Structure 1
Amino acid sequence: MIFLRLLWQIPIALLLLTIVLVFANEYAIAHSSRREKNIAYVAADQPCFDAERHVLDVYTPKEPSAKLRPVVVFIHGGSWDSGSKNLYSFIGRRLAKQGIVAVLVNYRLAPGVQVPDMVDDCAQAVIWTTKHSAEYGGDPNRIFLMGHSAGGGIAGLLATDNQYLANRGLVQSPIKGTILDDPAGLDMYDYLQKMEYPNDEQYLIPFGKKQEVWRAMSALYHVDSGCQPMLIYVGERTYPSIVRSTRKFNQRLQEVGIKHEISTMPGKKHIGMITQLFWQNNVIYRDLRRMVTGSLQ
């Protein structure tokens, strides 16, 4: 009877210990950084201003630095119709823990707007970052993009097509590199023409029904020799469409001669590709540090 009681208690004890360790780790990381939240990156007097979606959070290390730090702008995913920067505070804290200024962005979502407006929102967030990052100890000359899922597709588009920044008055892109984590939408032109999977019609809401828009919103068709370095990560067990479009994107980067690295993460599904970033020593963070410090070979 005593042995059975011990067997019952051990899993509970392990669970409680795990919870305590997780919270202790989270507290330690949070304690080493500052967060300034819900900063508007679009002027409140603009007709399209959305007080919930046109905001961003800035995470900065508490430890002082004599030099300006690299800046990573993170764009969340959510199928272009959901998601929030608030779900990814762990990424902001972990980046700050590693000496990086992190900017986590909200942007408007479908059905309120379509993808071109979402990309424009994120372009305005990047422009805000170039103007204000130094106020938070960030280097406006070392700005990097990072995105997961739909956010990866938006980041890829901003990294390959400068018209969104140029349309807002920033002719020279400040983006020095891009990290794409299981990116969705790199080739929506092909995806929406085929409609191979159940419920694919849902994506006609954010992308519309015009094929020229599908192509324009696909980073694959904008890759040229002017693109900056990229790090790309794909889950071994992610959606087949992401595997296929990322493979085509990689091939195009090779053809043009863009410095990049692509990695397949063993056993990882789409959600696991973002939740793994809870762990500070994850390979994506290690590679990201190489990129932002200029040591990417």
Structure 2
Amino acid sequence: MSERTGMDRQMSLDDVSDLDALFERRGKAAQEGLDAFEVRRAVPYGDGPGETLNIFPAGKDAPVMVFIHGGFWRSLDADLFSFLAPGFVPFGVCLVVIDYPLIPSVRLADIVASCQRAVSWVCDNIADHGGDPDRVHISGNSAGGHLVAELASRPGAERIRGGTAISGLYDLAPVVQSFQNDDLQLTADEVANYSPLLRPLDIRMPMIVTVGGDETQEFLRQTDDFADRIGVVSYHAPGTNHITVLLDALASPEDRLNRLVRAQMGLPAD
């Protein structure tokens, strides 16, 4: 097996069983989240295309969770992750799910800058939606996990109280070795400058670093290496894959991952 073929499998969902059914369940759960909770959709945080966010209010002075979706920096949108609302809003958390411009219309530097603008906008404006600007946390999965690591180690991080990086990509070199780069066209400079495992890091906020226990070896490796790099112990959510680590773990109030995140936010985890 060639290196390219091997990394193709590592960077795909080929080993996830019943994938179409999972996608259907995720879409249904997202619509249920939109229907069940108050939501302010497509609120602009910048002037560029894709620079909007969805806000699920949770009352006055609520701690805030900003979620950054995955999709290998080139697909998916905030609406699809509305299924996270039941895991946070009933516990008094103002959930903010952001969109950002996607490759190929922009490059990684633009995406990171957009996410920084989103967090800055939240800190400056979330009080108008009931959120506490002094209790802003961030989380994200896959490409979003990568973006959490980027935001945690770049200017503006001082305004964030904690982060949760889920199934992130912290070393982009293997991405270049896979079919994903056919569309992404990541450059050597992007790999060097936007790989948290390959560049200097200064992360001072509390961090949860986690991954689905049933994910590919490359995602497990990168999670463990990143956790070790920043001095925390990684958590492998048992029995979950790249999709269900969100759908059945982060979004589920009974799951340990959801409880860990709520505890990081200073909320009761019972």
Same fold (TM over 0.5): yes
1:134 equivalent in structure 2? 127
- Equivalent in 218, 223, 234 of residue 201 of structure 2: 223
Of the three residues 246, 260, 269, the one matched with 1:274 is: 246
Cα shift at 1:116 = 1.1
Give the whole-Å Cα distance in 2 for the aligned partners of 1:149 and 1:233. Answer: 11
CA contact (8 A) 2:104 2:184 kept: no
- What secondary structure sits across from 2:39 in the alignment? strand
Gaps of 5+ in 2: 1-24
| 8 A contact 1:76–1:151 mirrored in 2 | yes
Partners of 1:289 and 1:202 lie apart in 2 by: 38
Gaps of 5+ in 1: 1-18, 44-48, 166-171, 255-259
Matched, 1:186 2:170: yes
Residues 158-187 of structure 1: per-residue CA shift (max 9 Å, x gap): 11222xx4xxxxxx621111011111x211
TM-score, with normalisation over the residues of structure 1?
0.73
* Contact 2:84 2:247 (8 Å CA) reproduced: no
- 2:24 equivalent to 1:39: no
Sequence identity, in percent?
A: 26
Residue number among 235, 257, 267 corresponding to 1:284 in the alignment: 257
Answer yes or no: is the 8 Å Cα contact 1:230–1:261 preserved in 2: no
The answer for the alignment partner of 1:6 in structure 2 is none
Matched, 1:241 2:241: no
Report the alpha carbon displacement of residue 252 of structure 1 after superposing the two structures with TM: 1.0
2:74 and 2:144 map into 1 onto residues whose CA distance is 11
- Pick from 46, 64, 78 the counterpart of residue 85 of structure 1: 78
Whether the 8 Å contact between 1:92 and 1:103 is mirrored in structure 2 is no
Letter in 2 for 1:282: D
Q: Which has the higher contact order (CA 8 A, sep 6+)?
A: 2
Structure 1 contact 157–222 (Cα < 8 Å) conserved = no
CA distance in 1, matches of 2:104, 2:183: 10
The reply on whether 1:101 has 2:79 as its aligned counterpart is: no
TM-score (norm 2): 0.80
1:264 partner letter: H
Structure 2: which amino acid aligns with 1:54?
A: E
8 A contact 2:142–2:167 mirrored in 1: yes
Q: Secondary structure at the match of 2:225?
A: helix
Cα 1:222–1:69 shift into 2, 3 Å: farther
* CA displacement 1:124-160 (0-9 Å, x = unmatched): 1001101111111111111111001111101111112
